[in-house]
Structure 1
Amino acid sequence: MTDLTRRRLVQLTGAGLALSLAGCTSGGNGDDETTTSTTTQSGGETTTEKTTTSEPTPKDPTEPQSSATVEMWTKGDSTGFRPDIVWVEKGATVTWKQVSGVHSTTAYHLEYDQPTRIPDEAEPWDSEVLVDEGMEFEHTFDVEGVYDYFCTPHEKVGMLGTVIVGNPSPEGQPALEPPQDMLPEAAIEKIQELNKRTKAILEG
Protein backbone atom coordinates (compact mmCIF):
# COMPACT_ATOMS: atom_id res chain seq x y z
CA MET A 1 0.00 0.00 0.00
CA THR A 2 1.48 3.34 -1.03
CA ASP A 3 1.01 6.97 -0.07
CA LEU A 4 0.49 6.33 3.63
CA THR A 5 -0.09 10.02 4.35
CA ARG A 6 -3.21 9.86 2.22
CA ARG A 7 -4.42 6.39 3.00
CA ARG A 8 -4.03 5.11 6.55
CA LEU A 9 -5.13 1.74 7.75
CA VAL A 10 -5.60 1.87 11.51
CA GLN A 11 -6.54 -1.10 13.66
CA LEU A 12 -8.41 0.34 16.64
CA THR A 13 -9.07 -2.97 18.33
CA GLY A 14 -7.46 -6.37 18.15
CA ALA A 15 -10.66 -8.32 18.47
CA GLY A 16 -10.93 -10.60 15.45
CA LEU A 17 -14.19 -11.56 13.86
CA ALA A 18 -14.42 -14.92 12.14
CA LEU A 19 -17.66 -14.25 10.34
CA SER A 20 -18.85 -16.30 7.40
CA LEU A 21 -19.40 -14.55 4.10
CA ALA A 22 -21.97 -17.08 2.93
CA GLY A 23 -25.58 -16.10 2.47
CA CYS A 24 -25.08 -12.33 2.58
CA THR A 25 -27.42 -10.01 0.71
CA SER A 26 -26.99 -6.32 0.22
CA GLY A 27 -28.57 -4.01 2.71
CA GLY A 28 -27.44 -0.88 0.89
CA ASN A 29 -28.41 2.07 3.03
CA GLY A 30 -31.58 0.37 4.21
CA ASP A 31 -32.78 -0.25 7.71
CA ASP A 32 -30.61 -2.40 9.95
CA GLU A 33 -32.71 -4.47 12.34
CA THR A 34 -31.80 -4.89 16.01
CA THR A 35 -33.46 -7.52 18.19
CA THR A 36 -33.66 -7.19 21.99
CA SER A 37 -35.03 -9.71 24.49
CA THR A 38 -36.95 -8.97 27.69
CA THR A 39 -37.43 -11.72 30.29
CA THR A 40 -40.08 -11.49 33.01
CA GLN A 41 -41.14 -13.85 35.77
CA SER A 42 -44.71 -14.19 37.01
CA GLY A 43 -46.18 -16.93 39.19
CA GLY A 44 -43.08 -19.05 38.80
CA GLU A 45 -43.22 -18.87 34.99
CA THR A 46 -40.58 -17.19 32.87
CA THR A 47 -41.61 -15.41 29.68
CA THR A 48 -39.22 -14.02 27.09
CA GLU A 49 -40.39 -11.45 24.57
CA LYS A 50 -38.33 -10.37 21.59
CA THR A 51 -38.68 -6.91 20.09
CA THR A 52 -37.21 -6.04 16.71
CA THR A 53 -36.45 -2.41 15.86
CA SER A 54 -34.90 -0.85 12.78
CA GLU A 55 -32.36 1.94 12.67
CA PRO A 56 -33.49 4.86 10.49
CA THR A 57 -32.22 4.90 6.92
CA PRO A 58 -29.59 7.64 6.48
CA LYS A 59 -30.90 10.46 4.31
CA ASP A 60 -29.01 11.38 1.17
CA PRO A 61 -26.73 14.41 1.66
CA THR A 62 -27.87 17.88 0.63
CA GLU A 63 -24.50 19.66 0.59
CA PRO A 64 -20.76 18.83 0.68
CA GLN A 65 -19.21 18.10 4.06
CA SER A 66 -15.65 18.67 5.28
CA SER A 67 -15.28 14.94 6.01
CA ALA A 68 -17.38 11.78 6.10
CA THR A 69 -17.45 8.41 7.85
CA VAL A 70 -18.95 5.29 6.29
CA GLU A 71 -19.73 2.21 8.37
CA MET A 72 -19.22 -1.25 6.89
CA TRP A 73 -21.51 -3.79 8.49
CA THR A 74 -23.03 -7.24 8.34
CA LYS A 75 -26.07 -8.34 10.32
CA GLY A 76 -27.83 -11.59 9.58
CA ASP A 77 -28.29 -11.85 5.83
CA SER A 78 -27.73 -8.14 5.20
CA THR A 79 -24.50 -6.30 4.50
CA GLY A 80 -23.71 -2.81 3.29
CA PHE A 81 -22.11 0.62 3.51
CA ARG A 82 -23.87 3.13 5.77
CA PRO A 83 -24.48 5.66 4.32
CA ASP A 84 -23.95 4.37 0.80
CA ILE A 85 -23.70 7.92 -0.65
CA VAL A 86 -21.54 10.64 0.89
CA TRP A 87 -20.86 14.16 -0.44
CA VAL A 88 -17.62 15.86 0.57
CA GLU A 89 -15.63 18.93 -0.33
CA LYS A 90 -12.63 18.69 -2.63
CA GLY A 91 -9.61 17.68 -0.53
CA ALA A 92 -11.75 16.04 2.16
CA THR A 93 -11.04 12.65 3.71
CA VAL A 94 -13.55 9.80 3.85
CA THR A 95 -13.11 7.21 6.59
CA TRP A 96 -14.52 3.71 6.31
CA LYS A 97 -15.05 1.99 9.64
CA GLN A 98 -15.43 -1.76 10.11
CA VAL A 99 -18.45 -2.24 12.37
CA SER A 100 -19.10 -5.92 11.76
CA GLY A 101 -18.35 -8.56 9.18
CA VAL A 102 -15.43 -8.79 6.75
CA HIS A 103 -15.25 -6.05 4.12
CA SER A 104 -13.18 -3.86 1.83
CA THR A 105 -13.62 -0.47 0.22
CA THR A 106 -12.27 -0.66 -3.31
CA ALA A 107 -12.59 1.81 -6.17
CA TYR A 108 -14.00 0.65 -9.49
CA HIS A 109 -10.81 0.92 -11.55
CA LEU A 110 -8.83 -1.02 -14.13
CA GLU A 111 -6.01 -1.33 -11.59
CA TYR A 112 -8.23 -3.77 -9.69
CA ASP A 113 -9.49 -5.63 -12.79
CA GLN A 114 -12.72 -3.66 -12.79
CA PRO A 115 -14.26 -1.10 -15.16
CA THR A 116 -13.24 2.43 -14.23
CA ARG A 117 -16.08 4.32 -12.54
CA ILE A 118 -14.10 7.18 -11.00
CA PRO A 119 -12.77 10.40 -12.62
CA ASP A 120 -10.03 9.68 -15.16
CA GLU A 121 -7.35 11.69 -13.35
CA ALA A 122 -8.28 10.48 -9.84
CA GLU A 123 -6.24 8.08 -7.74
CA PRO A 124 -7.95 4.74 -7.05
CA TRP A 125 -7.91 3.10 -3.62
CA ASP A 126 -8.18 -0.36 -2.11
CA SER A 127 -8.26 -1.05 1.61
CA GLU A 128 -7.81 -4.79 1.03
CA VAL A 129 -10.11 -7.01 3.10
CA LEU A 130 -10.47 -5.79 6.68
CA VAL A 131 -11.11 -8.64 9.13
CA ASP A 132 -11.19 -7.02 12.57
CA GLU A 133 -13.96 -4.99 14.15
CA GLY A 134 -12.92 -1.37 14.67
CA MET A 135 -10.44 -1.21 11.78
CA GLU A 136 -10.51 1.96 9.69
CA PHE A 137 -9.33 2.99 6.25
CA GLU A 138 -9.00 6.56 4.98
CA HIS A 139 -8.74 8.09 1.53
CA THR A 140 -8.39 11.77 0.63
CA PHE A 141 -10.24 12.96 -2.49
CA ASP A 142 -8.32 15.68 -4.34
CA VAL A 143 -10.17 15.47 -7.66
CA GLU A 144 -13.73 16.73 -8.07
CA GLY A 145 -16.17 14.20 -9.43
CA VAL A 146 -18.26 11.13 -8.67
CA TYR A 147 -16.69 7.87 -7.51
CA ASP A 148 -18.19 4.38 -7.35
CA TYR A 149 -16.68 1.72 -5.10
CA PHE A 150 -17.48 -1.76 -3.84
CA CYS A 151 -16.71 -4.40 -1.22
CA THR A 152 -14.64 -7.18 -2.79
CA PRO A 153 -16.21 -10.05 -0.77
CA HIS A 154 -19.74 -8.71 -1.30
CA GLU A 155 -19.85 -7.11 -4.76
CA LYS A 156 -21.94 -10.05 -6.00
CA VAL A 157 -24.68 -9.20 -3.50
CA GLY A 158 -24.63 -5.48 -4.31
CA MET A 159 -22.49 -3.95 -1.56
CA LEU A 160 -21.53 -0.74 -3.36
CA GLY A 161 -21.27 2.94 -2.53
CA THR A 162 -20.72 6.36 -4.07
CA VAL A 163 -18.61 9.36 -3.07
CA ILE A 164 -19.44 12.78 -4.53
CA VAL A 165 -16.57 15.28 -4.37
CA GLY A 166 -17.08 19.01 -4.80
CA ASN A 167 -19.79 20.25 -7.14
CA PRO A 168 -19.25 18.27 -10.33
CA SER A 169 -21.48 18.36 -13.38
CA PRO A 170 -23.31 15.06 -13.84
CA GLU A 171 -22.21 15.13 -17.49
CA GLY A 172 -19.09 13.17 -18.34
CA GLN A 173 -18.82 11.32 -15.03
CA PRO A 174 -17.74 7.67 -15.51
CA ALA A 175 -19.61 6.77 -12.31
CA LEU A 176 -22.87 8.06 -13.77
CA GLU A 177 -22.62 6.02 -16.96
CA PRO A 178 -24.83 2.91 -17.22
CA PRO A 179 -23.30 -0.07 -15.39
CA GLN A 180 -21.10 -2.36 -17.46
CA ASP A 181 -22.55 -5.72 -18.52
CA MET A 182 -19.55 -7.57 -17.05
CA LEU A 183 -20.61 -6.64 -13.50
CA PRO A 184 -22.66 -8.97 -11.26
CA GLU A 185 -26.42 -8.54 -11.56
CA ALA A 186 -26.81 -7.22 -8.01
CA ALA A 187 -24.01 -4.70 -8.62
CA ILE A 188 -25.72 -3.51 -11.82
CA GLU A 189 -28.98 -2.99 -9.94
CA LYS A 190 -27.22 -1.11 -7.14
CA ILE A 191 -25.36 1.16 -9.58
CA GLN A 192 -28.63 2.02 -11.28
CA GLU A 193 -30.09 2.98 -7.89
CA LEU A 194 -27.00 4.98 -6.88
CA ASN A 195 -26.94 6.77 -10.25
CA LYS A 196 -30.55 7.87 -9.88
CA ARG A 197 -30.02 9.18 -6.36
CA THR A 198 -26.68 10.84 -7.17
CA LYS A 199 -28.13 12.71 -10.16
CA ALA A 200 -31.01 13.89 -7.99
CA ILE A 201 -28.50 15.19 -5.41
CA LEU A 202 -26.44 17.07 -7.97
CA GLU A 203 -29.44 18.48 -9.80
CA GLY A 204 -30.86 19.73 -6.50
Structure 2
Amino acid sequence: MATRRSLLARCGQATAVGTLLGVAGCVERSVSGSGGDPDPETETNPETETEEPAATESDDQSSDERPDFGGHLDDANGFDGTVVDRTGQETVTVTVGVGEHTYAFDPPAVHVDNGTTVRWEWTGDGGAHNVVSADDGPLDSGAVVGDSGVQYEFTFSEDGVYNYTCLPHRGVGMLGSVVVGTDYPTTDEPLPAEDDHDTTDEQGHYLDDANGYDGGRPADRRAQGVVTIDAGAGEDGFAFDPVDVVVDVGTTVRWEWTGDGGAHNVVARDGTFDSGSPEAGDTAAFEYTFTDVGSHMYACKPHEALGMKGVITVAPAREASDTATTVTPDGE
Protein backbone atom coordinates (compact mmCIF):
# COMPACT_ATOMS: atom_id res chain seq x y z
CA MET A 1 0.00 0.00 0.00
CA ALA A 2 1.33 3.43 -0.87
CA THR A 3 1.90 6.01 1.84
CA ARG A 4 1.64 9.79 1.77
CA ARG A 5 5.43 9.98 2.23
CA SER A 6 6.08 8.05 -0.97
CA LEU A 7 3.45 10.19 -2.71
CA LEU A 8 5.22 13.38 -1.71
CA ALA A 9 8.50 11.99 -3.00
CA ARG A 10 6.92 11.56 -6.43
CA CYS A 11 5.22 14.92 -6.37
CA GLY A 12 8.28 16.96 -5.42
CA GLN A 13 7.48 20.30 -3.82
CA ALA A 14 3.86 20.48 -4.89
CA THR A 15 2.30 22.15 -1.86
CA ALA A 16 -0.25 24.91 -1.39
CA VAL A 17 -2.24 26.50 1.40
CA GLY A 18 -5.80 25.21 1.41
CA THR A 19 -5.14 22.28 -0.95
CA LEU A 20 -7.94 19.73 -0.70
CA LEU A 21 -6.45 16.25 -0.38
CA GLY A 22 -8.32 13.40 -2.00
CA VAL A 23 -9.07 15.62 -5.00
CA ALA A 24 -5.47 15.75 -6.22
CA GLY A 25 -2.26 14.46 -4.70
CA CYS A 26 -0.14 17.23 -6.27
CA VAL A 27 -0.78 20.84 -7.17
CA GLU A 28 -1.94 21.13 -10.77
CA ARG A 29 0.26 23.53 -12.71
CA SER A 30 -1.20 25.99 -15.19
CA VAL A 31 -0.09 25.73 -18.81
CA SER A 32 -2.20 28.57 -20.14
CA GLY A 33 0.73 30.94 -20.75
CA SER A 34 4.52 30.81 -21.02
CA GLY A 35 5.31 34.26 -19.60
CA GLY A 36 7.85 34.86 -22.38
CA ASP A 37 7.72 36.58 -25.77
CA PRO A 38 4.02 37.07 -26.65
CA ASP A 39 4.33 35.56 -30.12
CA PRO A 40 0.80 35.61 -31.61
CA GLU A 41 1.41 32.34 -33.42
CA THR A 42 2.49 30.66 -30.18
CA GLU A 43 -0.53 31.97 -28.26
CA THR A 44 -3.04 30.79 -30.83
CA ASN A 45 -1.46 27.40 -31.52
CA PRO A 46 -3.23 24.81 -29.34
CA GLU A 47 -0.50 22.22 -29.95
CA THR A 48 2.10 24.51 -28.36
CA GLU A 49 -0.02 24.99 -25.23
CA THR A 50 -0.61 21.29 -24.60
CA GLU A 51 3.03 20.18 -24.83
CA GLU A 52 3.78 20.18 -21.07
CA PRO A 53 5.03 16.67 -20.21
CA ALA A 54 5.98 17.48 -16.61
CA ALA A 55 2.43 18.44 -15.61
CA THR A 56 0.92 15.47 -17.45
CA GLU A 57 3.27 13.01 -15.76
CA SER A 58 2.51 14.42 -12.28
CA ASP A 59 -1.24 14.19 -12.81
CA ASP A 60 -1.00 10.61 -14.07
CA GLN A 61 0.98 9.55 -11.01
CA SER A 62 -1.10 11.01 -8.22
CA SER A 63 -4.41 12.56 -9.24
CA ASP A 64 -6.41 9.52 -8.10
CA GLU A 65 -4.59 8.88 -4.81
CA ARG A 66 -6.19 9.88 -1.52
CA PRO A 67 -5.93 8.94 2.17
CA ASP A 68 -7.11 5.40 2.78
CA PHE A 69 -9.94 5.45 5.33
CA GLY A 70 -10.55 1.72 5.00
CA GLY A 71 -14.13 2.34 3.91
CA HIS A 72 -14.94 4.12 7.18
CA LEU A 73 -16.23 7.29 5.50
CA ASP A 74 -18.24 5.53 2.79
CA ASP A 75 -21.42 6.16 4.82
CA ALA A 76 -20.37 9.43 6.47
CA ASN A 77 -22.89 12.26 6.39
CA GLY A 78 -21.49 15.37 4.71
CA PHE A 79 -18.44 13.64 3.19
CA ASP A 80 -18.01 14.27 -0.54
CA GLY A 81 -14.43 13.01 -0.87
CA THR A 82 -12.81 16.26 0.27
CA VAL A 83 -10.19 16.16 3.03
CA VAL A 84 -9.95 19.71 4.38
CA ASP A 85 -6.34 20.89 4.76
CA ARG A 86 -5.67 22.39 8.20
CA THR A 87 -1.91 21.79 8.22
CA GLY A 88 0.12 24.63 9.67
CA GLN A 89 -2.38 25.22 12.49
CA GLU A 90 -1.61 24.35 16.12
CA THR A 91 -5.29 23.90 17.04
CA VAL A 92 -8.06 22.75 14.69
CA THR A 93 -11.79 22.77 15.45
CA VAL A 94 -14.32 20.14 14.35
CA THR A 95 -18.01 20.89 14.99
CA VAL A 96 -20.19 18.14 16.49
CA GLY A 97 -23.87 17.95 15.50
CA VAL A 98 -24.24 19.70 12.14
CA GLY A 99 -25.90 19.07 8.78
CA GLU A 100 -29.49 18.70 7.66
CA HIS A 101 -30.24 16.07 10.29
CA THR A 102 -27.52 17.23 12.76
CA TYR A 103 -25.87 13.81 12.59
CA ALA A 104 -22.54 14.94 11.14
CA PHE A 105 -19.09 16.30 11.98
CA ASP A 106 -17.80 19.40 10.21
CA PRO A 107 -15.45 18.86 8.54
CA PRO A 108 -15.93 15.08 8.41
CA ALA A 109 -12.34 14.61 7.18
CA VAL A 110 -9.44 16.91 8.02
CA HIS A 111 -5.66 16.83 7.49
CA VAL A 112 -3.44 18.19 10.28
CA ASP A 113 0.23 18.23 11.22
CA ASN A 114 1.75 15.84 13.72
CA GLY A 115 1.51 17.54 17.12
CA THR A 116 -1.71 19.40 16.31
CA THR A 117 -4.52 19.54 18.87
CA VAL A 118 -7.96 18.83 17.44
CA ARG A 119 -10.85 20.31 19.42
CA TRP A 120 -14.38 18.98 18.93
CA GLU A 121 -17.09 21.50 19.85
CA TRP A 122 -20.74 20.53 20.44
CA THR A 123 -23.54 22.57 18.83
CA GLY A 124 -26.21 21.14 21.12
CA ASP A 125 -28.22 19.89 18.11
CA GLY A 126 -29.14 16.32 17.22
CA GLY A 127 -29.37 14.93 20.73
CA ALA A 128 -26.45 13.61 22.74
CA HIS A 129 -23.13 12.90 21.01
CA ASN A 130 -19.63 11.71 21.79
CA VAL A 131 -16.33 11.20 19.94
CA VAL A 132 -14.88 7.68 20.06
CA SER A 133 -12.35 5.87 17.89
CA ALA A 134 -14.01 3.54 15.41
CA ASP A 135 -11.54 0.74 16.16
CA ASP A 136 -8.96 0.45 18.95
CA GLY A 137 -7.68 4.00 18.56
CA PRO A 138 -7.06 6.60 21.27
CA LEU A 139 -10.11 8.88 20.92
CA ASP A 140 -12.72 8.72 23.67
CA SER A 141 -14.66 11.73 24.94
CA GLY A 142 -16.55 9.56 27.41
CA ALA A 143 -20.29 9.53 28.02
CA VAL A 144 -22.58 11.11 25.45
CA VAL A 145 -23.38 14.81 25.97
CA GLY A 146 -26.14 16.93 24.43
CA ASP A 147 -25.28 20.44 25.66
CA SER A 148 -23.92 23.19 23.42
CA GLY A 149 -20.49 24.60 24.19
CA VAL A 150 -19.05 21.28 25.32
CA GLN A 151 -15.50 20.58 24.11
CA TYR A 152 -13.17 17.61 23.78
CA GLU A 153 -9.50 17.85 22.79
CA PHE A 154 -6.87 15.39 21.60
CA THR A 155 -3.27 16.04 20.58
CA PHE A 156 -2.02 13.75 17.81
CA SER A 157 1.60 12.62 18.18
CA GLU A 158 1.86 9.93 15.48
CA ASP A 159 1.25 10.05 11.73
CA GLY A 160 -1.64 8.04 10.36
CA VAL A 161 -5.38 7.95 9.70
CA TYR A 162 -7.61 8.16 12.80
CA ASN A 163 -11.22 7.13 12.17
CA TYR A 164 -13.86 8.00 14.75
CA THR A 165 -17.61 8.10 15.28
CA CYS A 166 -20.44 9.27 17.51
CA LEU A 167 -21.52 6.01 19.13
CA PRO A 168 -25.28 6.68 19.39
CA HIS A 169 -25.43 7.76 15.75
CA ARG A 170 -22.77 5.56 14.15
CA GLY A 171 -25.42 3.58 12.29
CA VAL A 172 -26.88 6.74 10.76
CA GLY A 173 -23.62 8.05 9.32
CA MET A 174 -22.13 10.27 12.04
CA LEU A 175 -18.54 9.42 11.16
CA GLY A 176 -15.29 11.35 10.84
CA SER A 177 -11.56 10.99 10.31
CA VAL A 178 -8.36 12.89 11.06
CA VAL A 179 -5.37 12.46 8.73
CA VAL A 180 -2.13 13.24 10.59
CA GLY A 181 1.28 14.16 9.22
CA THR A 182 2.79 12.91 5.97
CA ASP A 183 3.25 9.16 6.52
CA TYR A 184 -0.23 7.71 6.20
CA PRO A 185 -1.80 5.01 3.98
CA THR A 186 -3.19 6.03 0.60
CA THR A 187 -5.36 4.36 -2.02
CA ASP A 188 -6.34 4.99 -5.61
CA GLU A 189 -9.70 3.23 -5.34
CA PRO A 190 -12.64 5.55 -6.15
CA LEU A 191 -15.08 6.61 -3.46
CA PRO A 192 -18.64 5.22 -3.65
CA ALA A 193 -21.18 7.38 -5.41
CA GLU A 194 -23.04 9.78 -3.10
CA ASP A 195 -26.29 7.86 -3.46
CA ASP A 196 -24.50 4.70 -2.32
CA HIS A 197 -23.34 6.03 1.04
CA ASP A 198 -26.01 8.48 2.17
CA THR A 199 -27.97 6.63 4.86
CA THR A 200 -29.52 9.65 6.54
CA ASP A 201 -32.85 9.59 4.71
CA GLU A 202 -33.27 5.87 5.40
CA GLN A 203 -32.09 5.61 9.01
CA GLY A 204 -31.52 9.08 10.42
CA HIS A 205 -34.91 9.32 12.14
CA TYR A 206 -35.49 5.70 13.08
CA LEU A 207 -36.41 6.53 16.68
CA ASP A 208 -38.38 9.70 15.96
CA ASP A 209 -41.70 7.88 16.39
CA ALA A 210 -40.47 5.36 18.96
CA ASN A 211 -42.50 5.25 22.17
CA GLY A 212 -40.48 6.43 25.15
CA TYR A 213 -37.86 8.23 23.04
CA ASP A 214 -37.34 11.90 23.90
CA GLY A 215 -34.32 12.61 21.69
CA GLY A 216 -31.98 12.82 24.67
CA ARG A 217 -28.85 10.92 25.51
CA PRO A 218 -28.88 7.10 25.35
CA ALA A 219 -28.76 5.04 28.51
CA ASP A 220 -25.06 4.30 29.12
CA ARG A 221 -24.77 0.63 30.10
CA ARG A 222 -21.10 0.18 29.32
CA ALA A 223 -18.96 -1.89 31.72
CA GLN A 224 -21.91 -4.21 32.38
CA GLY A 225 -21.79 -7.84 31.32
CA VAL A 226 -25.58 -8.22 31.13
CA VAL A 227 -28.09 -5.45 30.37
CA THR A 228 -31.86 -5.82 30.80
CA ILE A 229 -34.53 -4.16 28.65
CA ASP A 230 -38.25 -4.32 29.42
CA ALA A 231 -40.43 -5.42 26.50
CA GLY A 232 -43.94 -4.04 26.92
CA ALA A 233 -43.18 -0.86 28.84
CA GLY A 234 -44.99 2.46 28.74
CA GLU A 235 -48.59 3.43 29.36
CA ASP A 236 -49.99 1.05 26.73
CA GLY A 237 -47.30 -1.64 26.85
CA PHE A 238 -45.99 -0.73 23.38
CA ALA A 239 -42.45 0.35 24.25
CA PHE A 240 -38.99 -0.90 25.14
CA ASP A 241 -37.32 0.52 28.24
CA PRO A 242 -34.71 1.84 27.86
CA VAL A 243 -35.32 2.51 24.19
CA ASP A 244 -31.79 3.70 23.33
CA VAL A 245 -28.81 1.97 24.97
CA VAL A 246 -25.00 2.02 24.65
CA VAL A 247 -23.14 -1.18 25.60
CA ASP A 248 -19.65 -2.66 25.27
CA VAL A 249 -18.59 -5.33 22.80
CA GLY A 250 -19.44 -8.73 24.27
CA THR A 251 -22.38 -7.49 26.34
CA THR A 252 -25.42 -9.74 26.59
CA VAL A 253 -28.71 -7.86 26.29
CA ARG A 254 -31.70 -9.58 27.87
CA TRP A 255 -35.23 -8.50 26.93
CA GLU A 256 -37.80 -9.41 29.60
CA TRP A 257 -41.54 -9.31 28.88
CA THR A 258 -43.68 -7.28 31.28
CA GLY A 259 -46.93 -8.98 30.30
CA ASP A 260 -48.48 -5.72 29.08
CA GLY A 261 -49.44 -4.79 25.53
CA GLY A 262 -50.20 -8.27 24.23
CA ALA A 263 -47.77 -10.55 22.40
CA HIS A 264 -44.34 -9.14 21.53
CA ASN A 265 -41.12 -10.18 19.87
CA VAL A 266 -37.67 -8.67 19.25
CA VAL A 267 -36.44 -8.58 15.65
CA ALA A 268 -33.33 -6.78 14.35
CA ARG A 269 -33.82 -4.55 11.35
CA ASP A 270 -30.91 -6.23 9.55
CA GLY A 271 -31.89 -9.74 10.65
CA THR A 272 -28.95 -10.37 12.97
CA PHE A 273 -31.19 -11.40 15.88
CA ASP A 274 -34.79 -12.58 16.15
CA SER A 275 -36.70 -13.84 19.19
CA GLY A 276 -39.15 -15.71 16.97
CA SER A 277 -42.93 -15.69 17.10
CA PRO A 278 -44.61 -13.07 19.31
CA GLU A 279 -45.21 -14.19 22.90
CA ALA A 280 -47.51 -12.89 25.61
CA GLY A 281 -47.24 -13.05 29.39
CA ASP A 282 -44.59 -11.94 31.85
CA THR A 283 -42.33 -15.02 31.78
CA ALA A 284 -40.94 -14.68 28.26
CA ALA A 285 -37.37 -13.49 27.75
CA PHE A 286 -34.82 -13.28 24.94
CA GLU A 287 -31.04 -12.81 25.05
CA TYR A 288 -28.46 -11.81 22.47
CA THR A 289 -24.72 -11.18 22.88
CA PHE A 290 -23.43 -8.29 20.76
CA THR A 291 -20.00 -8.73 19.15
CA ASP A 292 -20.22 -6.23 16.25
CA VAL A 293 -19.50 -2.55 16.85
CA GLY A 294 -22.19 -0.18 15.60
CA SER A 295 -25.88 0.67 15.95
CA HIS A 296 -28.37 -2.19 15.93
CA MET A 297 -31.98 -1.16 15.28
CA TYR A 298 -34.82 -3.48 16.23
CA ALA A 299 -38.58 -3.59 16.76
CA CYS A 300 -41.52 -5.63 17.94
CA LYS A 301 -42.97 -6.65 14.59
CA PRO A 302 -46.66 -6.73 15.62
CA HIS A 303 -46.39 -3.23 17.12
CA GLU A 304 -43.66 -1.57 15.04
CA ALA A 305 -46.19 0.74 13.38
CA LEU A 306 -47.27 1.83 16.86
CA GLY A 307 -43.73 2.90 17.75
CA MET A 308 -42.39 -0.16 19.58
CA LYS A 309 -38.78 0.23 18.44
CA GLY A 310 -35.32 0.48 19.97
CA VAL A 311 -31.60 0.82 19.29
CA ILE A 312 -28.58 -0.90 20.81
CA THR A 313 -25.28 0.88 20.12
CA VAL A 314 -22.18 -1.25 20.66
CA ALA A 315 -19.08 0.75 21.56
CA PRO A 316 -15.58 -0.30 20.49
CA ALA A 317 -12.95 -1.11 23.08
CA ARG A 318 -11.53 2.05 24.59
CA GLU A 319 -7.85 2.85 24.93
CA ALA A 320 -6.54 5.15 27.64
CA SER A 321 -4.49 8.12 26.45
CA ASP A 322 -2.48 10.87 28.12
CA THR A 323 -2.95 13.27 25.20
CA ALA A 324 -6.72 13.63 25.50
CA THR A 325 -8.70 16.24 27.39
CA THR A 326 -12.08 15.07 28.63
CA VAL A 327 -15.32 16.76 27.69
CA THR A 328 -15.78 20.06 29.52
CA PRO A 329 -18.23 22.95 29.25
CA ASP A 330 -16.90 25.87 27.23
CA GLY A 331 -14.85 28.27 29.30
CA GLU A 332 -14.10 25.98 32.24
TM range (shorter): 0.3 to 0.5
Larger radius of gyration: 2
Select the structure that is richer in strand.
1
User: Normalising to structure 1: TM-score of the pair?
Assistant: 0.48
Q: Return the structure number with greater relative CO, CA threshold 8 A, min gap 6.
A: 1
